[in-house]
Chain A
Amino acid sequence: MTALVLDQLRKSYAVAGQAALHGLSLAVESGSLTALLGPSGSGKTTTMKLIAGLIAPDSGDIRLGDRSIRDLPPERRGVAMVFQNPLLFPHLTVAGNVGFGLRMRGLASDRIAASVAEMLERVRLTDLAQRKPAQLSGGQAQRAALARALILRPEVLLLDEPLSSLDPGLRDEMRQLIRALQRETGITTIVVTHDQTEAVALADRIALLLDGRLAQYDSPQAFYGRPATMAVARFFGGVNFIPGTARAGIFDGALGTLTLPPGLPEGPGVLTIRPEALRFGEGPNPRAAQIVALSFLGSLTRVDLDLMGVPLQALVTPDTARTLGPGTEVQVSLPPEALWLLPPDA
């Protein structure tokens, strides 16, 4: 079932500095966790503010279920938003902050207290209920901000870069908490992030925004194996691009003819292979390669190769790296199932 539909949303700003949207369409599945991914200036935060009702679109529609929420004020949309900074209300305690939304709805104070206690338990802040926001650490404040939104059981929960203000050590913990709470509550959630590894680790589906447009909406795996364009492939760390022509399961380009997997389109295109999918040693689509350089990256090593004058990159484990030396000749294989065809760059 579709929960949230963005239909041809357009937004431009008179003042520079805020990213515009050029006709964004997206249909988010009910109960899913979607990452809205994109570089800074791609329109992620603008999209969130449009959904939350903090700004109005120039044109286009926003629908929740089958009703348009485009013209509703923020408080009547059933959408709650957690901002990049926790933005807790400094004059209220943690419990006061978490109970804020229920208080605005006019609930009885004993019911609010019960809900707040339960919510604080879930985000492990029970002991800090009576603290003021200034006495919290960054992670605690962000958990309180999350609890403050979740307690309202919104139809859609928007999280704007919820991890970016946290120390790296806390990010993983917060990511797991978000994932667990989302599964538990089943609230349709959209997380904004500029970090593709974070999007992959967190989300069921990723919506990649490039220049105010939806570049691809797909599972995390698809962005690695089946990117829609060269720009998408590059954003996810794609580096190997070989122009040529596909015909009858064969790709003809600068590397000679290569066998393609079944089901790829025919005609001119750009062949791509993930750097981690290149194999060293015997295999299908074999080629002789010269090792240009080895760069230690930590858990993986980057290998710069020269294949018949075409520069390619491979990522290998330390075990494989140990067998390789700069300047030596090696045999590599481009497995057909790892090959993917992109449309020619416009």
Chain B
Amino acid sequence: MEQMVNVFVMGKKYEVPASLTIMKALEYAGYKLVRGCGCRNGFCGACATIYRIKGDRELHTCLACSTQVVDGMYITQLPFFPLIKEIYDINEVRPDETVMMKTYPEIYACIGCNACTNACTQGLNVMQYIAYAQRAEYEKCAEESFDCVMCGVCSSRCPAGISHPQVAMLARRLNGKYIAPKCEHLADRVEEIASGKCEEAIRANMALDDAAIREMYNTREIEK
């Protein structure tokens, strides 16, 4: 007999197998999910969940798809949170001190409570990456926030009304486009292709008959 636990879905009790993730427990309880379910594997941030274990004061946050149920778990989901996503033109903005001030000025109202970091379902140091954004250290902000799945739980806990995932998104795009070193071999190859230099070799491969291309493939040298 499977070991069962009691979980409380928005306050209502269901008995579910102890081995399940929260997401699968909801389905075991009989829900067919439309909201709060996306990749089912920790990458999309659709299934942000807040829970508290009966008898425990602490409030926990997690992704329902990648967290196992615990007996006495009181669960509520946050399938959507109204983050502020400002519109900008990536070709017009620059990675300078003014861009955050113009786009997401509320980050300077951070009171340093660290509720965002405590709430992060990915275990990121959210307050730190906001601090980097305040100081226009976008490379550091990008690195610190890289694993963000934009579930929005951090913002739900923020007394300053910061939309942390969107701040980080802007920082990463600034870093990717403007700050990270340009790739010369990439630019060179794009140019070579555009000028037709790569054409002859590939057309020659395409013109081979079946036996010839099989031979070429099966005997090709593989880079160590």
Determine if chain A interacts with chain B: no
